[in-house]
Amino acid sequence: MPATKNVLAFVMAGGEGSRLHPLTANRCKPAVPFNGKHRIVDFVLSNLVNSEIYSTYLLVQYKSQSLIEHVRQTWTMARFMPQHFITVVPPQMRNGPDWFQGTADAVYQNIHLIETMQPDVVAVFGADHIYRMDVRQMIDFHVRSNAHASVATLPVDLRECDQFGIVDVDDNHRITDFKEKPKSARPMPGSRTQALASMGNYIFNADVLLRQLKRMHDNGETDFGKHILPSMVKSHKLVAYDFAGNTIPGTESYEEQAYWRDVGTIDAYFQAHFDTLGAQPRFRITNRRWPIYASPEQAESAQIEDGVIHRSVVGSGSIVDGAELDHAMLRRSVLVERGACIEHSIVMERSRIGQGARVRRAIIDQDNDIPPGERIGFDLEQDRKRFAVTDSGIVVVPAGAFPARRAASPFLAAMDQALRMGEAAPRLQVHA
On whether the CB atoms of residues 248 and 131 are closer than 8 A, the answer is: no
On whether the CB atoms of residues 241 and 150 are closer than 8 A, the answer is: yes
pLDDT, residue 122, reads 98
Residue 10 reports pLDDT greater than 90? yes
Q: What is the per-residue pLDDT across 165-208, written as a single tens digit (0 to 9) for each?
A: 999 999 999 999 999 999 999 999 889 999 999 999 999 999 99
Per the model's pLDDT, the better-predicted residue between 101 and 280 turns out to be 280
On whether the CB atoms of residues 274 and 263 are closer than 8 A, the answer is: no
Q: How confident is the model at residue 78 (pLDDT cuts 50, 70, 90)?
A: low
On whether the CB atoms of residues 249 and 265 are closer than 8 A, the answer is: no
pLDDT, residue 426, reads 39
Distances (CA, A) of 83 to 52, 80, 210: 12, 9, 21
Residue 3 reports pLDDT greater than 50? no
The string of DSSP letters for 373-430 reads T-EESS-HHHHHHHSEE-TT--EEE-TTSS-----SSHHHHHHHHHHHHTPPPPPP--
Q: What is the per-residue pLDDT across 376-418, written as a single tens digit (0 to 9) for each?
A: 999 999 999 999 999 999 999 999 999 987 655 555 555 555 5
Predicted model pTM = 0.90
Write the single-letter amino acid at 173.
H
Label the pairing between strands 175-180 and 303-310: unpaired
Q: How confident is the model at residue 1 (pLDDT cuts 50, 70, 90)?
A: very low
Q: 272-281, 282-291, 397-406: lowest mean pLDDT where?
A: 397-406
The residue among 187, 136, 131 whose CA lies nearest residue 161 is 187
Label the pairing between strands 388-389 and 395-397: antiparallel
pLDDT, residue 300, reads 79
pLDDT, residue 404, reads 85
Residue 429 reports pLDDT greater than 50? no
Residue 22 reports pLDDT greater than 70? yes
Distances (CA, A) of 185 to 90, 181, 192, 268: 36, 9, 11, 23
Write the single-letter amino acid at 274.
F
Query: Residue range 358-374: average pLDDT?
Result: 97
Distance CA 311, CA 48 (A): 31
Q: What is the per-residue pLDDT across 201-237, written as a single tens digit (0 to 9) for each?
A: 999 999 999 999 999 999 989 899 999 999 999 999 9
Specify whether domain 7-262 bears CATH 3.90.550.10: yes
pLDDT, residue 64, reads 87
Give every CB contact of residue 155 below 8 A, 6+ residues apart in sequence. Answer: 188, 191, 194, 195, 196, 197, 244
Strand partners, 125: 11
Domain ranges of the chain: 7-262, 303-421
On whether the CB atoms of residues 283 and 130 are closer than 8 A, the answer is: yes
Distance CA 361, CA 394 (A): 5
Q: Is the peptide bond before 426 cis (omega within 30 degrees of 0)?
A: no
Q: 100-114, 269-283, 405-419: lowest mean pLDDT where?
A: 405-419
Which of the four CATH numbers 2.40.50.150, 2.160.10.10, 3.30.9.10, 3.30.70.1710 does domain 303-421 have? Answer: 2.160.10.10
Distance CA 371, CA 430 (A): 25
Give every CB contact of residue 235 below 8 A, 6+ residues apart in sequence. Answer: none
To the nearest whole number, what is the mean pLDDT of the chain? 90
Query: Residue range 248-261: average pLDDT?
Result: 96
Residue 4 reports pLDDT greater than 50? no
Q: How confident is the model at residue 97 (pLDDT cuts 50, 70, 90)?
A: low
Residue 293 reports pLDDT greater than 80? yes
Residue 328 reports pLDDT greater than 60? yes
Reported as half-sphere exposure (CB side, CA atoms, 13 A), residue 299 has a value of 27
Q: What is the per-residue pLDDT across 118-132, written as a single tens digit (0 to 9) for each?
A: 999 999 999 999 999
Q: What angle do CA 177, 241, 273 make, to 5 degrees?
A: 110
Handedness of CA 327, 45, 179, 265 (dihedral sign): positive
Say if residue 71 is exposed, middle or buried (CB neighbours under 10 Å; 0-12, 13-18, 19+).
buried
Question: Backbone dihedral region of 2: left (phi > 0), alpha (psi from -120 to 50 degrees) or beta?
Answer: beta
Residue 75 reports pLDDT greater than 60? yes
